[in-house]
Amino acid sequence: MTLSEALEEEFDIAISTWWETTYSLFLLRAKRYASFVQSLEDRFYEPHESIERLSARLTLDLPVAFITEASWIAETLGELRPDASVRLVRNGIDKQIFAPVETIEPNIDEPLRVLIEGSPESWYKGLRPAIKAADKMKEPHRLTIVCPTFEGLEPKYASRAIGPLSQPELATIYSDTDVLVKLSRVEGMYGPPLEGFHRGATCVTTEVTGHDEYIEHGVNALICDWDDERGTAAQLDLLARDRELLTKLRRGALATAQDWPDWHESSSKFAAALHQIADQPQPDRLNYLPGMMMQLRVGLEKERGSRGYYRSLAADAGRWRQINGLPGLAQLFAARRAIKGSLFGGKDTD
């Protein structure tokens, strides 16, 4: 249905599903308005993308009821908007595609089967750090990388580099995996490891938002530190050496998957949440304007400050380029690089 077609109808509930869809939300005629929040969406943008970050944050001040799929989001919304209705419906797994395997077949003699999936275009998915960590492994392993595109990425250390894949094809890859390496910096419900759990894989992951919905260190997965490629590689090497631990974690992951709701269960709970929202009175929109205007003012002040900061950086960079271009310094730096820093006692003094 197009927006123009939707404008001709009246709805019980109109739901936004991404911050940009809120632009048209209140154009629709509806008895109640809601937002399905799958993450705090300002986190998807880097610091220099301040306009997008501000715009995404402002949508959390709208006069709507909230539905979300992860406990951490529900708790955060409850703190940010104690006046608003917040309902948690855990995201189900399509168990026709990601059907739980019946048993775990231990990998005893073969190299550790490592999988890394994600998009190189999304900085927050941590694809490149995961590849670097796997490259630092010392034990025999077989690395598979799944990406929708490999543009700008050199998967030279992978045994297999494949993609894009359909969901059934991805489920097959998970079935041939011992451990998924996922070093995301931003997640909502954090679905990929859970999909892997259904197909018999465990996971090595950061403590990204959403991991605590189902990941237990030493029970069904291993948790690694942030920005620690060598430590992550050490955990992978541990799993490659200790096949008893590997099998224990894979079995724990399968047990977690077997207890997780499927699409039918989560959809039923989502429908129940909508009925509850429909029975509530619509909030007075005017009550929300002061908070939104305050958020807008704070955001604009931060934007002004960040622009001044980046202008200062640009000016410093310009001065450095002028200094670095002086013949004497240029020759000195070239000599330093050529002898690997011995002019300065082996220390990086750039």
Contact 68, 37 (CB under 8 A): yes
Q: Domain check: are 255 and 269 in the same one?
A: no
pLDDT of residue 297: 72
Q: Domain check: are 245 and 200 in the same one?
A: yes
pTM here is 0.80
pLDDT of residue 58: 87
- Would residue 247 count as lying in a domain? yes
Average pLDDT, the chain: 88
> How would you list the strands of the sheet with 65-68, edge to edge?
10-16, 29-37, 65-68, 86-88
| Percent residues over pLDDT 90 in the chain | 67
Q: Domain check: are 117 and 256 in the same one?
A: yes
pLDDT of residue 48: 80
pLDDT of residue 315: 67
- Phi and psi of 113, rounded to 5°? -95, 110
Q: Domain check: are 140 and 272 in the same one?
A: no
pLDDT at 179 over 90: yes
Range of the domain at 212: 112-260
- The band of 151, judged by pLDDT with boundaries at 50, 70 and 90, is confident
The residues near 140 (Cβ < 8 Å, ≥ 6 apart) are: 111, 112, 240
What is the number of structural domains in the chain? 2
pLDDT of residue 325: 58
pLDDT at 348 over 50: no
- Would residue 171 count as lying in a domain? yes
- The band of 344, judged by pLDDT with boundaries at 50, 70 and 90, is very low
- Rounded Cα distance between 221 and 235, Å, is 10
Euclidean distance between the first and final Cα of the chain, in Å? 58
Q: Domain check: are 74 and 198 in the same one?
A: no
pLDDT at 106 over 60: yes
- Would residue 298 count as lying in a domain? no
Q: Domain check: are 18 and 118 in the same one?
A: no
